[in-house]
């Protein structure tokens, strides 16, 4: 019984890992729809700040996913 559960969880993790980029893109698209706002006359340093925020956000999301995946593997 434990082997069946272990195999099922492993298959689910593999499917999730294969599709994580698609899921992240969907999440980002949904967030973008809510946050899309034109800001006229954006200064170059402001643009850099926005880019840095986006990069940090994606790194945090990736780290959260990796943590969840490691915890799920430890569960097995």
53: its two tokens: 């925020």
b/e burial code for range 44-75 (CB count within 10 A of at least 16 → b): eeeeeeeeeeeeeeeeeeeeeeeeeeeeeeee
pLDDT value of residue 32: 64
Domain span holding position 18: 2-75
Using CA atoms, how far apart are residues 68 and 18, in angstroms rounded to an integer?
A: 15
* 12 has pLDDT over 60: yes
**pLDDT tens digits, 21-75:** 777 777 777 766 555 566 677 788 888 888 888 888 888 888 888 888 888 877 6
Confidence of residue 18 (pLDDT cuts 50, 70, 90): confident
Domain count, the chain: 1
**Cα dist from 70 to 5, 40, 42, 46, 66, whole Å:** 17, 43, 41, 36, 6
**pTM (whole model) above 0.75:** no
Q: Which residues make Cβ contacts (< 8 Å) with residue 39, sequence separation at least 6?
A: 46
């Amino acid at each position: 019984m434990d082997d069946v559960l272990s195999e099922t969880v492993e298959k689910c993790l593999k499917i999730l890992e294969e599709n994580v980029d698609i899921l992240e893109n969907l999440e980002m698209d949904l967030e973008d729809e809510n946050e899309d706002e034109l800001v006229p006359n954006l200064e170059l340093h402001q643009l850099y700040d926005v880019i840095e925020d986006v990069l940090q956000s994606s790194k945090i999301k990736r780290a959260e996913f990796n943590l969840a995946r490691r915890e799920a593997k430890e569960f097995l």
